[in-house]
Amino acid sequence: MKAICTETRPYLQGTRLTAWSLSEMGIDTTLITNNMAAYCMSKRMIQKVFAAADRIAMDGAVANKAGTMQLAICARHLGITSYILGYGGPDRCALRGHEIPIEERDPREVLEFQGTRITGDRVQAYYPAFDVTPPELITGIVTVSGVHKPSEIGSLQSH
């Protein structure tokens, strides 16, 4: 088994957590930057896409770290399956994906690295921390009760 992980800026969670955890489990792990995923998919270096879910709406839309939607779009375009690790299932308070509020974080988190500004003083930043992937871009949602189509996720029993 092999895994390719993205670095997930600005916090490098893919580097510090995902890649490290997979490598510690003995999985052959390669790290790429966020903007390399479509290229690697087009070269057939990636056969399946996996991402987690911070929140799943009842319609099967998934909120996760910003960039998840673009991975799903690229995967769909290139005929690659895309799965969401949804753990317990949907949030019964969010009927549709567009109802999930998207947190916009302090732009300094994009403009700085470890407290040091990494660009010019006149450069501005925008930092939506999450995006919402529509259900039609998702092959399946993995929960504690199995793998489900996004259209089925709203009918799952609560855990």
Between the alpha carbon of residue 124 and those of residues 112, 118, 151, the distances in Å are 11, 12, 39
Backbone phi, psi, residue 148, to 5°? -125, 150
Indicate if 54 belongs to the active site.
yes
Q: CB neighbours of 101 closer than 8 A, spacing ≥ 6? A: none
Catalytic residue among 28, 54, 59, 106: 54
Backbone phi, psi, residue 91, to 5°? -90, 110
Q: Tokens for 129? A: 């921390």
C-beta separation of 83 from 94 below 8 A = no
State the virtual CA torsion across 85, 78, 36, 23 in degrees, nearest 10.
40
Residues annotated as catalytic are 54
